[in-house]
Chains A and B, each alone.
Chain A
Amino acid sequence: MFPLFVAETLIGLSIGGRLFLIAVGLSLIFGVLNVLNFAHGVFYMLGAYGAITVSALLLDNFWLGAAVGIVAVGIVGAIVEFGLIRPLYDRDEAILDQLILTFGVAMIVHELARMLWGSQPRSIPTPGSLDFSVGILGETITAYRLFVIGVSVVVLVGLWLFLTRTHHGHVIRATASDREMAAMLGVDVPRLYTTVFLLGSLLAGLGGALAAPLQAVSPALGDQIIIDAFVVVVIGGLGSISGAFVGAMLVGLFQAFGVQYIAAGDLALPFIAMILVLVFRPRGLLGEDEVL
């Protein structure tokens, strides 16, 4: 039954692409700053709301709305890092304190979103320019879904090139592997941290904005999505970008096939996978120590 697999694979890749866009920023931030950002989910939610709200204001142009939303999320992220997370870096229990602190941020943003947009889920139509179907091996898929898969690949490749081929990328990787050494060599570590956090938040916003036409958006979205993101980054390896990609695609394919072939209980399986990875390969399936 070959064609059947094509359908599932396409759906799986589409889910995977979306998951990757959520997880990659989280993983990047953890890889460089050693901060597990609980607020990443609400940033994603903000990105989605940003795209919806702004595009409604701006001539119904989804792309413009998305762009503004993404930038806004990036700015929020940078402010959070600068104002709240930064004072905690030199604590003894920095990692746990930062985790709890970002959790507080998530609560606040969640509530603010509810005040601003209400609890009712919202949605937005697929942007007209990509609202058509494409046939692949006898199956059809909307062009927008293909576009999201494409964006996730572009992000992966772009980050890869950025981190391996540019000066800034080298500095970031050096700081990730040895912050003291980097500081000694004259890197302005605090500023670099803020920049990376900004970048990670931009990616969360991008994921949210692009997902807006694909799912219902509500303030509780962040609470759900952060868990998916945790599953993905743990499976791929916390702090690893290629790991996030592999993890996202695995989980996406898994969900697509799981719906078809596992009668019930498939909701628990990603968590069981996460547990197994943590028990047997805590560094993730790829087992890399590098940010890449």
Chain B
Amino acid sequence: MSGDDEPTTDGSRDDEPTADRSTPDGPDPGALGVAGPAVERAGHGHERLSFTRSRLIEEGWTRERLLGLFVVWCLLVPVVLPSFQVYLFTEFLLLAVFATAFNLLYGYTGLLSFGHALFYAAAGYAIALTFRELGPELAGVLGGISPLATLLVAVVLGLAFTLVIAAPVGYLSVRLDEIYFALITLSFSMAFYAVLIQDPYGLTQGSDGMLLLLGTVELFGADVALADRNLYYYLVLAVAGGSMYAMWRVINSPFGTVCRAIRESPDRVSALGVNVTYHQWVMFVVSAFFVGIAGLFIAPLHSIVTPAMSFWTTSAIPVVAAVIGGAFYFLGPAVGAFVFLYLRWGLSRYPAFEAHWELFYGLVLILVLLYFKEGAAAGLVALGHWLEDLYGVYRTDGRSAAIEFVRSTLSEKAAAVRREVGRTSVRGRRSARGQVATAGGGSDSTDPGGGSDSTDPGSGSDSTDPTDPTDRPSGGDRP
């Protein structure tokens, strides 16, 4: 169930208008590769785009195909990559689940939790405790297959434990908003951290943490080490694939859409008769559940759980991943997790930087916040469109036209970046005052277009609608 079935998720609508519905200024279905909220195409590419896209689809480059390729790649990872890389990729998959689950709350509901490490650690400790306490017992009863049974029991107990914590913590937290929500989640995770490190009941071995070894299963006379790198990789691939698919369904469900609306305007949603805090609470628990899954499976990978799992710096990981990757894209946080892990790995090969990878995250984080609010995912989507356009030019007008296309678009882009940088600093200089002029008071609504213009830095310069505002289908079924 490693996501193979994902292509059919669009179900009945798949064959016809789906592709078009998501272009050109897509309905934010969240998928990377489908235009996200603020990625608008440069005007010149529009017609060519539809040509290229249909051409590409004809030639078999459908979304499904791309996803299929990715799945094949995932299946081949242990075959083609060296052992350490398999480990790294396993870690990436789990971090991607962690970050995506966090983002259900941040990008999709508008709540910034600075305490999701709590659920990560809770699940991790749950599995470690289960193996220590129940492992020997089960071995006595079940013999050879007991590690497998223990793992199953640990997963169930771990998720149950996560939910038992998440429900009250979420209930108390969602009643607060913005900074206060961030602070209360932070304090819950830090309280848990303090308990783990002081270990008042002698359960968790304090700051040393607990070792966790999955053990070896005897199956049909053969010994199978559960922690075997490749075997464990496939296990994680299945779990992560399933989790990502489940979360993808959640955000595209009625519930997920309501939560996105809550992110935009809680007051408006409650005026529609929806209990906002209740839905935030449900999403909180769902989010914690998937974080729990990540925590459950990361623990055996690291072979140890320590209190640091619940420290606030762990909570910061998904925050950084989501922001860098792009919180308004379903796969944004996964992209961010990828950058996070592989940037660290890449830097570790240069001794001068090795110890200082956090410096680079800090820099990337700030740059993204200041200039690319849509994150890396938006960049990838834009890059994908650009490649499509390029391909279109190449197929219709030939090679030299393609080169010319590359040159002109690149210089255009450079100019745009320069403008954006200039604009941000100018805006900054005026900001606090500028706000006064547009701040909504009583009856300022008569300014057409007044408050309607979103100033997303990422959202291309033109937000004016090509279709005439007054152009309405006249009549309809009006008498």
- Let me know if A238 is at the binding interface, CB within 8 A: yes
Task: Let me know if B356 and A184 touch, CB within 8 A.
Answer: no
Q: Which residues of A contact B355 (CB under 8 A)?
A: 114
Give the total of A residues in contact with B, Cβ under 8 Å. Answer: 52
Given known A-B contacts A87-B431, A184-B436, A268 and B194 have beta carbons under 8 A apart? yes
- Let me know if B361 is at the binding interface, CB within 8 A: yes
Q: Which residues of B contact A268 (CB under 8 A)?
A: 191-192, 194-195, 198
A91 to chain B, nearest CB (A): 8
Q: Which residues of B contact A139 (CB under 8 A)?
A: none
Task: Let me know if A238 and B179 touch, CB within 8 A.
Answer: yes
Q: Which residues of B contact A223 (CB under 8 A)?
A: 312-313
> Which of A17-25, A60-68, A227-235 faces chain B?
A227-235
- Which B residue sits closest to A112, measured CB to CB? B359
Give the total of B residues in contact with A, Cβ under 8 Å. Answer: 54
Q: Which residues of B contact A274 (CB under 8 A)?
A: 183-184, 187
Given known A-B contacts A103-B319, A267-B194, A275-B191, A95 and B178 have beta carbons under 8 A apart? yes
- Let me know if A75 is at the binding interface, CB within 8 A: no
In the bound assembly, the distance between CA atoms of A266 and B200 in angstroms comes to 9
Chain A at the B interface: SS class: helix
How does the 8 Å CB contact mask read for A76-92 relative to B, with 1 for contact and 0 for none?
Answer: 00000000101111111
- Let me know if A105 is at the binding interface, CB within 8 A: yes
- Let me know if A125 is at the binding interface, CB within 8 A: no
In the bound assembly, the distance between CA atoms of A237 and B370 in angstroms comes to 30
- Let me know if A144 is at the binding interface, CB within 8 A: no
Task: Let me know if A107 and B370 touch, CB within 8 A.
Answer: no
- Let me know if B222 is at the binding interface, CB within 8 A: no
- Let me know if A257 is at the binding interface, CB within 8 A: no
| Chain B 342-375 residues near chain A, CB threshold 8 A | 355-356, 358-359, 361-363, 365-366, 369-370, 373
B434 to chain A, nearest CB (A): 6
Q: Which residues of B contact A190 (CB under 8 A)?
A: 429-433
In the bound assembly, the distance between CA atoms of A108 and B363 in angstroms comes to 7
B326 to chain A, nearest CB (A): 13
Residues of B within 8 A of A (CB): 112, 172, 175-176, 178-180, 182-184, 186-188, 190-192, 194-195, 197-200, 312-313, 316, 319, 323, 355-356, 358-359, 361-363, 365-366, 369-370, 373, 424-425, 427-436, 439, 454-455
A-B residue pairs, 4 tightest by C-beta: A107-B362, A87-B428, A108-B362, A267-B194
8 A/B residue pairs, CB under 8 Å, sorted by A: A91-B455, A107-B362, A180-B435, A227-B312, A230-B183, A271-B190, A272-B191, A282-B180
Residues of A within 8 A of B (CB): 36, 84, 86-92, 95-97, 99-101, 103-108, 110-112, 114-115, 179-180, 183-184, 189-190, 193, 223, 227, 230-231, 234, 238, 263-268, 271-272, 274-275, 278-279, 282
